[in-house]
Chains A and B, each alone.
Chain A
Amino acid sequence: MPWPHLPDDFRQTHRSVWVDIDSDLYDPAEGNRVYHEYMDQLEYADSLGFDGIGVNEHHQNAYGLMPSPNIIAAGLARRTSRAAIAVIGNSIALYNPPIRVAEEFAMLDVISGGRLVAGFPVGTPMDTNFCYGQIPALTRDKYYEAHELIMRAWAEREPFAFDGKYNQLRYVNCWPRPIQKPHPPIYIPGGGSIETWDFCVEHDYNYSYLSYSGYKAGKALLDGYWERVAALGKDESPYRAAFAQVVCVADTDADAEKLYAEHILYFYNRCLHVYLGFADPPGYRTVKTIQAGKLNQFRMENQRLFTSLTWKDLVEGGYVIAGSPATVRERMEHMIKDLRLGSLFLLFQIGNMPDDKVRHSTKLFAEKVMPQLRDIWPEWKNDERFWIKPLESRVRPELPRNGR
């Protein structure tokens, strides 16, 4: 959900799209239009038959305009009744106390009739440490405590006392409670911290690798994840893994470049222009992750890379899957099998892409690509552990009712 009006010379005249970005670049009146356009697009995806529509949390930036994804999700819950509402997620270490997340997610699950996918990210350093002031070396510890509190709040039937290091609550008693039992499916978005793998595997949570480096770069990381799945003796259900991918579909490969290249380049050049000092504060990544050589995607190497990439580089390097429906289908099928993916977070709106192009690409995908990708994992088709279980009898607020 990027701000689409960053100036052409943004990189030269501003040091960062995140944290200390110039507030004069935001125009609330235009923001009114932009929010509704993006929410309309998500509702449009629901009407086209996508399994879910997703939102996430970022702060003080022009890259993603959702400090509170739950507000957007609440709007979507009222205007759709079929797709999962994937909030991936709430940065649980930032909520004081994090019982707030247990409550708001329960509200979303109840309002949507059991359609919530609950995401618990640690959060980027820009959001978590520099915007929200969390101490880098204690962020993960606080995150794990918040996770424990939320999961207990959903599971326990009696009020209980929680004596945490960061949260002390005498009466934890989550009201309302989620529809989905034992709890909504949990997705853990990760950017490459290897601790997150074991955490997901041990709890049977979905690990969602969110990056803009595309599937070729993602391969190494997902291979590492699947190794941990095997090492910990778990089954290899592809639904243990999700992946974010930028996708642009047009009638032909040439059309894709003509229609989308400028918007993709806007995104890579401006929306990812993060001041390096905000990308990796000491203590945020663990020693283990640094030693494993998993570099943060906002680090210098990537910053240099992202800005020098051309459309051709982006497509050939797998950062972006773009082209005709046949091209996109072939590449995606390869990606899904190669990385062993059960869920995909597909980004159709990107950078400053205008509404008509977003809808064109989304519709082509839904009609000409998606149907062929549905049955790639027939042996796992009954694995329901990682997906929503909505109420059959749920209210469908977008339909006429009560005489309206």
Chain B
Amino acid sequence: MSSSERRIETRRGLKSRVLEAGQGAPVVFFHGAGGLLKEEPLLERLGAKYHVFAPEWPGYGADGGEEKLEDMLDFALHGWDVVESLGIEKPSLIGHSMGGMIAAEMACIANKSLAKLTLIAPAGLWLDAHPIPDLFSMLPFELVGALFTDPRNGEKFLTGGIDFTNADALTQFMVGNARRLGTAGKILFPIPNRRLSKRLYRLTAPTLLVWGRNDKLIPPPYAERWAQLVPHARLAWIENGSHMAPHEQPELVASEVERFLGAP
């Protein structure tokens, strides 16, 4: 993203890095369990129309503090703490995967504090007939297969070209991975359901669901279930889209989001 970076500190004292781009109506993007990747083409595109902020969850950056987040309420309140420390009012929220789960929880807790909500393949529900693959026991190549349509994209996005034959680089990667997914596990392990479905009746903000038709991690039946549970949701399919549609088909996803959010 042709963006700047800023560092914030929340009321609770948690620090984090925030990518920032563009100007206009405020939009906060919450990343998924993989973190902010090296390239975030969706944010770049949205930055042309809106004032986009993309904070990093604790555990995903250099600042630490993830031990303070233990359960779903901690994550959701941290999300609002971040909004507060950015100094913005009534932003629209976008959340991808785990970030969508948290954004939906935030919108249920404080349903008058946001403008619109976009959920891109959010986690947070569980259907016995369609078990979500176990992210936490997957080997890297299996993970790439579940996330991306084109596995070559997966390698590029997820590893950032690390030389795994270098022992230090490998240790560093393992530490980062343990922190990121260790943090995500607090709300996703062993089943990514923290009973959000009970609270979705409170989600009164206009909501857009964006889902890849070929999402193999959180498959399409979840999109339909979300559409049933959220009172004001519209569902937009990304044809041939994977779970990582924001990275593999950023143009299509951005068009849907822009149509939903309207003029900046």
A and B, one complex?
yes
Which residues does A use to contact B, with CB under 8 Å?
129-130, 133, 135-138, 165, 275-278, 281-285, 287, 290-291, 293
Q: Do A137 and B137 have beta carbons less than 8 Å apart?
A: no
Assign chain B's interface to a size class. Answer: 20 to 34
Report if B96 contacts A (CB, 8 A).
no
Interface string of B176-213 (1 = CB under 8 A from A): 01111111011001110000000000000000000000
Partner of B137, one of A133, A277, A287, A293: A277
**CB-defined contacts of B190 to chain A, threshold 8 Å:** 129-130, 133, 135
State how many angstroms separate the Cβ of A290 from the closest Cβ of chain B. 5
- Tell whether B169 is near chain A: CB-to-CB under 8 Å: no
- In the complex, B9 has a CB within 8 A of chain A: no
Smallest CB gap from A281: residue in B: B136
Please tell me if the beta carbons of A282 and B177 are within 8 angstroms of each other in the complex. Answer: yes
Q: Nearest B residue to A286 by beta-carbon distance? A: B178
Across the A-B interface, the 10 shortest Cβ-Cβ residue pairs:
A283-B182, A282-B181, A277-B137, A137-B182, A133-B190, A282-B178, A282-B182, A281-B136, A135-B189, A283-B185
Residue numbers in A under 8 Å from B182 (CB-CB)? 136-137, 282-284
Having A277-B134, A283-B185, A283-B189, one finds 19 other A-B pairs with CB under 8 Å, namely A129-B189, A129-B190, A135-B189, A136-B136, A136-B182, A136-B189, A137-B182, A137-B183, A138-B186, A165-B70, A275-B137, A277-B136, A277-B137, A282-B136, A283-B178, A287-B178, A287-B179, A290-B178, A291-B175
27 example contacts (A-B, Cβ-Cβ < 8 A) are as follows: A129-B136, A129-B189, A133-B190, A135-B185, A135-B186, A136-B182, A137-B183, A137-B185, A138-B70, A275-B137, A277-B134, A277-B137, A277-B142, A281-B181, A281-B189, A282-B136, A282-B181, A282-B185, A283-B181, A283-B183, A284-B182, A285-B178, A290-B171, A290-B174, A290-B178, A291-B175, A293-B171
Minimum CB–CB distance for A183 against chain B, Å:
30
Docked-complex contact B185 and A277, CB < 8 angstroms: no
Residues of B within 8 A of A (CB): 66, 70, 134, 136-139, 142, 171, 174-175, 177-183, 185-186, 189-191
CB neighbours of A284 from chain B (8 A): 182
Interface contact B70-A290, CB-CB below 8 Å: no
A130 touches B137 (CB 8 A): yes
Most buried by B among A135, A276, A284, A290: A135
A9 to B84, CA, bound (A): 59
Which residues of chain B are near A287, meaning CB under 8 Å? Answer: 175, 178-179
**Within the assembled complex, what's the spacing in Å between the Cα atoms of A285 and B182?**
9
Q: Which residues of A contact B179 (CB under 8 A)?
A: 282, 287
- Residues of the A chain whose Cβ atoms lie less than 8 Å from the Cβ of B139: 276-277
Docked pose: A284 CA to B177 CA in angstroms:
12
B189 CB contacts on chain A under 8 angstroms: 129, 133, 135-136, 281, 283
User: A102 CB to closest chain B CB, in angstroms?
Assistant: 25
Measured in the bound complex, the distance between the Cα atoms of B189 and A202 in whole Å is 32
Shortest CB-to-CB span from A130 to chain B, Å, is: 6
A273 to chain B, nearest CB (A): 15
Give complex CA distance A290, B174 in Å: 7
CA distance A282 to B180 in the complex (A): 8
In the complex, what distance in Å separates the CA atom of A276 from the CA atom of B189? 18
